[in-house]
Amino acid sequence: MTASSQEIISLSNERICLAGLLIVALGFFTWKADLGIAKSLLISSLRMVIQLFLVGLVLVYVFEIDHPLPVILIALVMLLVAGKEVSSRQKYKIKGFWSYGIGTSSMFVSSFAVSIFGLIAIIKAENWWDPRYAIPVLGMLLGNTMTAVSLSIDRFTTNVWNDRDTIEARLIIGETANDAIKDIVKDSLRSGLMPVINSMAIAGVVSLPGMMTGQILAGNSPDDAVRYQVVIWLLIAVGCGFGSMIAVKMVSKKLFDERERLRLDQLTVK
């Protein structure tokens, strides 16, 4: 029997619990080392298990009815949760709604646009909203874009806060706001994009990406798995890049008024 014709090995609840024992062991050692993360580790692990099993139940229903509305609703929930995560990871937050709105809107513009383009123009599914393709593709793009956007915003606001005297001095001598923060913008975008750049650099050499691994385990040919993973990584890089650029631009607009004065009063410290 060839590898492609073999059925995937099912994992029983007992085997999953065996993997869970490793997390319990890790939690014990982090507790003994007084790292202060044992509780967070165990809670996050339990939360992950519950969330994934619930998602599995929902996807069974979504696949059966084959309609765009549930896919759109799932996509919106994913976006809103990702936006909340971006906001919660900031040390210096924009006051008010935009603490949440900047990350959410930048991910919506970048991840959703890139995902739809990939589904229609590259993957060419019969229906762009086909849940077998739309949900995994959007999920991978949103997850990576969320990390890039949160890192970029956090680095940008932190550097602006720390270098506020230098920025104001450059504004006083006649530089524009864009010139005064040019280096900070570059550093922030590099910070957001380096994780995905590093991941692409080692893909297939040090690690096998998740989608490729999943397709191979499911019995698809390695050639098809590689082609899908290449497309996904390229889409992820584009989503992360544009998402970070949009987010940093939106934050910078909030931190300078129409007279190009630095408005640190728009920031609140976590």
Q: Is the per-residue pLDDT at 263 higher than 60? A: yes
CA dihedral 36, 37, 38, 40 (to 10 degrees): 130
Distance in angstroms (rounded) separating the CA atoms of residues 135 and 52: 14
169-194: average pLDDT: 95
Backbone angles phi, psi at 24, to 5 degrees: -60, -40
Task: Return the number of other C-beta atoms located less than 10 Å from residue 194's C-beta.
Answer: 12
Sole residue written with tokens 């390695």: 222
226-239: average pLDDT: 94
> In this predicted structure, what is the pLDDT of residue 247?
97
Q: What is the 3-state secondary structure (H, E, C) of 47-85?
A: HHHHHHHHHHHHHHHHHHHCCHHHHHHHHHHHHHHHHHH
Q: Is 39 exposed, middle or buried (0-12, 13-18, 19+ CB in 10 A)?
A: exposed
102-115: average pLDDT: 95
Q: Is the per-residue pLDDT at 219 higher than 90? A: no
> In this predicted structure, what is the pLDDT of residue 6?
58
Q: Is the per-residue pLDDT at 169 higher than 90? A: yes
Distance in angstroms (rounded) separating the CA atoms of residues 111 and 139: 9
186-209: average pLDDT: 90
> In this predicted structure, what is the pLDDT of residue 10?
83
Please report, rounded to a whole number, the percentage of residues in the chain having pLDDT higher than 70.
97
Q: Is the per-residue pLDDT at 2 higher than 50? A: no
Sole residue written with tokens 């009063």: 265
> In this predicted structure, what is the pLDDT of residue 1?
41
Q: Is 220 exposed, middle or buried (0-12, 13-18, 19+ CB in 10 A)?
A: middle
Q: Which amino acid is at 1?
A: M
Nearest to 110 by CA among 144, 67, 158, 151: 144
Q: Is the per-residue pLDDT at 64 higher than 60? A: yes
Q: Which amino acid is at 101?
A: G
> In this predicted structure, what is the pLDDT of residue 68?
92
Q: Between 220 and 46, whose confidence is greater?
A: 46
> In this predicted structure, what is the pLDDT of residue 210?
75
Q: Between 152 and 216, whose confidence is greater?
A: 152
> In this predicted structure, what is the pLDDT of residue 17?
94
194-203: average pLDDT: 92
Question: Which pTM does this prediction carry?
Answer: 0.85
228-233: average pLDDT: 92
Domain spans of the chain, in order of start: 10-65, 68-269
User: What pLDDT digit, counting tens, does each position of 69-83 carry?
Assistant: 999 999 999 999 999
Distance in angstroms (rounded) separating the CA atoms of residues 196 and 230: 13
User: Going by DSSP bridges, is the β-strand pair 92-94/267-269 parallel, antiparallel, or unpaired?
Assistant: antiparallel
